[in-house]
């Protein structure tokens, strides 16, 4: 992909502690670690940062989001600062978000749902976000949810289907009064 992006300078890769360090080939292609990326900004003066922040206008591009590609090739879309702020405030207001909320991030942050529920919303209302393990959708999400006790989660339909399947499997293994009560509640 890098060969088709002539203006791309670096690719920043976040490396969990369990992952192998970058190899020579990756380095030659311009891949750097998150720590190296952060190091690049250490000499930036506060005034320069303030000037950059002041130069941001509502209609400027704030983020790029990507479609999943389920109905065709994946597509990117630019969202402006005012779009992000308006949408984040509207969602936070309609969902009643507060600084007491706690969420679990497991959707890709290139997904608008992930950006809104895991980044923008929590910044607007001051809530806590706990990041799930990279394999969350392959099995560890349940344990993370049990540990964190989120006040709410945003999930794509397939995740809700998996929750339902797991509940139905558990339901089959119980009996007696417990099964009767659960059946009546459903």
Residue 41 sits in the same domain as residue 21 = yes
Please tell me the total count of domains within the chain. 3
Residue 14 vs residues 40, 74, 83, 129, 157: alpha-carbon distances, Å: 15, 23, 27, 18, 27
Residues 85 and 145 in one domain: yes
110 and 24 in a common domain: no
Beta partners for residue 130, in sequence order: 104
Nearest to 90 by CA among 60, 120, 129, 56: 120
If asked whether residues 120 and 80 sit together in one domain, one would say yes
- Whether 131 and 93 map to the same domain: the answer is yes
Residues 87 and 4 grouped into a single domain: no
The parent domain of residue 184 ranges over 158-186
> Which range, of 9-18, 45-54, 64-73, 118-127, averages the lowest pLDDT?
9-18
Model pLDDT for residues 154-169, shown as the tens digit of each residue: 998 888 998 888 888 8
Does residue 18 sit in the same domain as residue 4? yes
180 and 134 belong to one structural domain? no
**What's this model's pTM, rounded to 2 decimal places?**
0.66
């Amino acid at each position: 992909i890098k060969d088709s992006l002539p203006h791309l300078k670096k690719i920043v890769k976040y490396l969990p502690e369990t992952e192998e360090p970058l190899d020579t080939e990756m380095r030659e292609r311009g891949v750097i670690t998150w720590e190296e990326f952060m190091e690049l900004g250490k000499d930036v003066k506060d005034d320069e940062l303030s000037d950059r922040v002041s130069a941001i206008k509502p209609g400027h591009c704030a983020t790029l989001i990507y479609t999943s590609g389920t109905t065709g090739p994946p597509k990117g879309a630019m969202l402006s600062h005012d779009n992000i702020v308006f949408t984040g405030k509207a969602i936070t207001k309609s969902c009643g978000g507060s600084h007491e909320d706690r969420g679990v991030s497991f959707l890709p942050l290139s997904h608008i749902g992930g950006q809104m529920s895991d980044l923008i919303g929590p910044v607007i209302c001051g809530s806590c976000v706990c990041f799930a393990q990279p394999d969350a959708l392959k099995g560890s999400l349940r344990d993370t949810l049990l540990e964190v006790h989120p006040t709410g989660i945003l999930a794509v339909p397939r995740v809700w289907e998996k929750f339902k399947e797991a509940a139905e499997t558990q339901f089959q293994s119980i009996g007696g009064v417990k099964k009767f009560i659960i059946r009546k509640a459903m």
